[in-house]
Amino acid sequence: MQPLDRRRFLNRLATGMSLFAAAGIPGLTRGTAIPWGPDVGENRPQRPDGLAQPAFRPLPLGSIRPRGWLERQLRIQAQGLTGHLDEFWPDVAGSQWFGGDAEGWERAPYWLDGAIPLAYVLDDEALKGKVTRYVEEIVRRQRPDGSYGPMASAPSTRPYDLWAILLANKMLVQHHEATGDERTLRAVEASLRALGPSVTRTPLFGWGKYRWFEGLIPIFYVHERTREPWLLDLARTLRAQGTDYPALYAREAVTSPTPRRGRWTWDKHVVNTAMAPKAAALSWRLDRRPDDRAFPGRMLAILDRYHGQVTGMFTGDECLAGKNPVQGTELCAVVEFMYSLENLLSVFGDPVFGDRLERVAFNALPATFSPDMWAHQYDQQVNQVQCTINPDHMWTTNGPESNIYGLEPNYGCCTSNMHQGWPKLAAHLWMTTPDDGLAAVAYAPSEARFRSRGVPVTAALETDYPFRETLTITVTADRAVSFPLLLRVPAWADGATMTVADGSPVPMRAGSFHRVEREWRGPTRVILRFPMRPRVSLRYNDALAVERGPLVYSLALEEQWTRVNAGAPHRELPHGDFEVRPTSPWNYGLLLDPENAPSGLTFEERPVGERPFSPEGAGMRARARGRRLPSWEMAHGWAAEVPPGLQTSAEPLEDLTLIPYGCTNIRVTEFPRVRV
């Protein structure tokens, strides 16, 4: 059978469908027993005056090393586009930030914002040397008034959108944290000092206005090391000039999908949206307003209800686009949302943000790269049966190349911003608690080093999670020391248990942080088991989606990659552009009962591959039964309940293979339901 003509199929989708889910906004906060303790231990900077303490503090960059599949993934990234973008892509190689004449705004700082944490979590000497040379060049070029980069210092010149300065400072403090180079800290402080008069002359506008809160990250970083009160005044000034997201989310406009070929707006821009959940958390640290604590949950519930996808993301191609699984989600939004969740986890300590972080990181993030991480998409789709240059696309405001895999499909922002996803995840897996303890806030194989009450401690996690249910943590203390170990128990992990040393398994409550208080001495093993029961969720138009643990499962398709744009500038291999088409049928409905998911699904462990997120490297696969549908149009389009006449059509039931969403390049994830 030939795959159905995609244009007719998409047109079908554009008509006659309910755009809003009937489901109520789910409650977001599960109780957690984390105290907001007032103190900080010696492993953290001195307590600042005037800033509320976060529930957890990220460890200094470089304290956490990836292991197992995560290390392989990060090495793929370092050997792919991230490690080499500056060698051939003019907007970084010839950036005005480094004295060149190419783009002089966000692109070079974006790249460094991901390349710096990648270099230091991997402890990669070559990459560390490379990023350090660029950082030193930016610092060296700073002007006496504190302005740097291409930002003009003369007030009479055309206003420069200060977003790039907020971003550059956020990027630079990571380098200071990893290296302790005081010149970088002084450069950021001088830049922030210049920012006050600058925003007094020309208040924030454009991207800077919508992303004001990113500036609070370097402001707080410098404040915790200098206690300069003017820094918090500057933070309040940025907040006063910036977009008021709670007010924006009290209005109805954000709930409606942007029409196909609709109007681009700042308010519904998907990357702004993905960055914004952290605004309230940072604002809460300034003056502890209860509304700021409540807002992120409310914002995520609205996004889930009106634009949510099974990957934990929301659509935006590139403005918010509703729940239809063939709308796109921009890669910048994926990595920015992950960073927002890492900030929310740190400030509020709510495990729900850890669940969401893993869901995005293990599904939406890897799916949107080629397995070698040389090519990426601008927009990914949850139901993505082919990735081609398509002038008849159904995006809201993006262009025809948005979902091919390539160097800079549609626009180059993701080319420069995609790098932060994996390395910042690795850097935020473990955090310290206010009472000198350690919290495992998200799980992937890794090793964390910190000091508790002066005693060096290592926590090493061996696991193939999220492809497996068992996680083995070895805590090693140089000498006896008592501190709490907090373990996030995912909300889906009913029946979770923990076994310490030679003890018996202890039950843990799903959706909480489990606290282990003991004296640690030498190596102690802590074995976690998170039972992963299959789930079948009802999605857009009652379509079925298969989930197990933090992973979403999609139909595995045979695929054909075709090189395109070979003559375009900078597309020399390995950084070329590609279309991907299916060479196996994809138009199936599934025979599954949402009330009894395990009855229709079997799961089989596979070795986690050298490329963990590739079709052949998938560490787990599922079998389900389904039936090919003669025509999607007859089946009421994507994801509709199949009419009774077709549910039992003449097509035979077939055994189908599903693999994790993050391992696919093309896929069907939301399926119509068929019956025996």
List of residues contacting Zn ion (CB under 5 A): 332, 413-414
Smallest distance, Zn ion to C-beta of residue 666, A: 21
CA 316 – CA 323 distance, rounded (Å): 10
Of 417 and 541, nearer to Zn ion (C-beta) is 417
Smallest distance, Zn ion to C-beta of residue 318, A: 8
Are the C-beta atoms of 123 and 62 separated by less than 8 Å? yes
Smallest distance, Zn ion to C-beta of residue 270, A: 9
Are the C-beta atoms of 417 and 342 separated by less than 8 Å? no
Of 162 and 332, nearer to Zn ion (C-beta) is 332
What amino acid is encoded at 561 in this protein? W
Taking CA atoms, 398 is separated from 254, 411, 480, 519, 668, in Å, by 18, 9, 58, 56, 22
Residue 480 buriedness (CB in 10 A; 0-12 / 13-18 / 19+): exposed
Of 215 and 412, nearer to Zn ion (C-beta) is 412
β-bridge partners, 329: 316, 380
CA 281 – CA 213 distance, rounded (Å): 10
Residue 262 buriedness (CB in 10 A; 0-12 / 13-18 / 19+): middle
Of 332 and 441, nearer to Zn ion (C-beta) is 332
CA 434 – CA 482 distance, rounded (Å): 14
Tell me the residue number closest to Zn ion, measured at CB: 332
Helix (H) or strand (E) holding 636: none
Of 375 and 413, nearer to Zn ion (C-beta) is 413
Smallest distance, Zn ion to C-beta of residue 130, A: 23
End-to-end CA distance of the chain: 22
Strand, helix or coil at 163?
helix
Of 120 and 339, nearer to Zn ion (C-beta) is 339
Smallest distance, Zn ion to C-beta of residue 113, A: 13
| Tokens 């695929």 sit on residue | 559
| Tokens 């600042």 sit on residue | 48
Smallest distance, Zn ion to C-beta of residue 271, A: 6
Of 195 and 413, nearer to Zn ion (C-beta) is 413
Smallest distance, Zn ion to C-beta of residue 414, A: 3
Smallest distance, Zn ion to C-beta of residue 268, A: 15
Helix (H) or strand (E) holding 4: none
Smallest distance, Zn ion to C-beta of residue 345, A: 23
Residue 11's contacts (CB-CB under 8 Å, 6 or more residues apart) are: none
Of 380 and 433, nearer to Zn ion (C-beta) is 380
Of 318 and 436, nearer to Zn ion (C-beta) is 318
Are the C-beta atoms of 99 and 137 separated by less than 8 Å? yes
